Structure 1
């Protein structure tokens, strides 16, 4: 009888599948109704928004420290997304995790030498770099002590704060990534 009850249950949209389904539905609705995006696109066009193929020549012309920073951030973003979506605790997770730690360290350390926002001085964004350089060893120490929840919280926080939120700031009008992808 228990097997019969399970087969009669209504399927739910939970976990990763639910997020993917919601994202696909949102994209489908936006694609079907282009008028919804007209006003925001006019505002972006006023800021010089012209989507185009990435102009990698701008990155190639950037100083080496910026190139290293971008390489570390992109590597950490891709590996971090794989780690967050994948099964935890496997050999692959551990190997990719150590690679992610190295990429995050490269990103944080290289950012200390990028001072274009406040020439010659640190800016508020550098607080994220300091936080990352302190939080990375703490997260590693947490997993070594088998404090999985503390480790997961710290690593996810660094991914969201140190990569996603800080990464979004690099796409502001006038910044290098804005020009590479949008300007």
Structure 2
């Protein structure tokens, strides 16, 4: 999904939140938005832009503070999902690989060679599979807003070039839990 589409989806959600009459809605003084990376990276920049636009478009009723480097969970990326469910974190720009310990089906996006290009990924997340994944995430206690792009996982080794699944035969690979 293109970065601008991610921002647009997030902004649509923020715009809907801003439609309720002010007297009917009570807001926390500050909402915590966790990001794995720093604010100089694209996801961090997107989080800051989005939080500023939400504040602006809600006339200051909704204030979101960005916490980079998964600082709200002592840097443990895999605890972010649980922290959202527990209310320690209000929102997160998270990665499927980090959230897959809680929602096993998210491992789909870590399978090498499954999706040949960005068009295939976009078709997957914007189609029935993406909708089903959203339902699974919500069933696990977190409400997803949009898909973002995190690029492809890379395989590296000191033995040989890997271009096809067969090239990994006999190799031992270390991956995220």
Normalised by the size of structure 1, how large is the TM-score?
A: 0.29
Of Structure 1 and Structure 2, the greater strand share is in 2
Normalised by the size of structure 2, how large is the TM-score?
A: 0.29
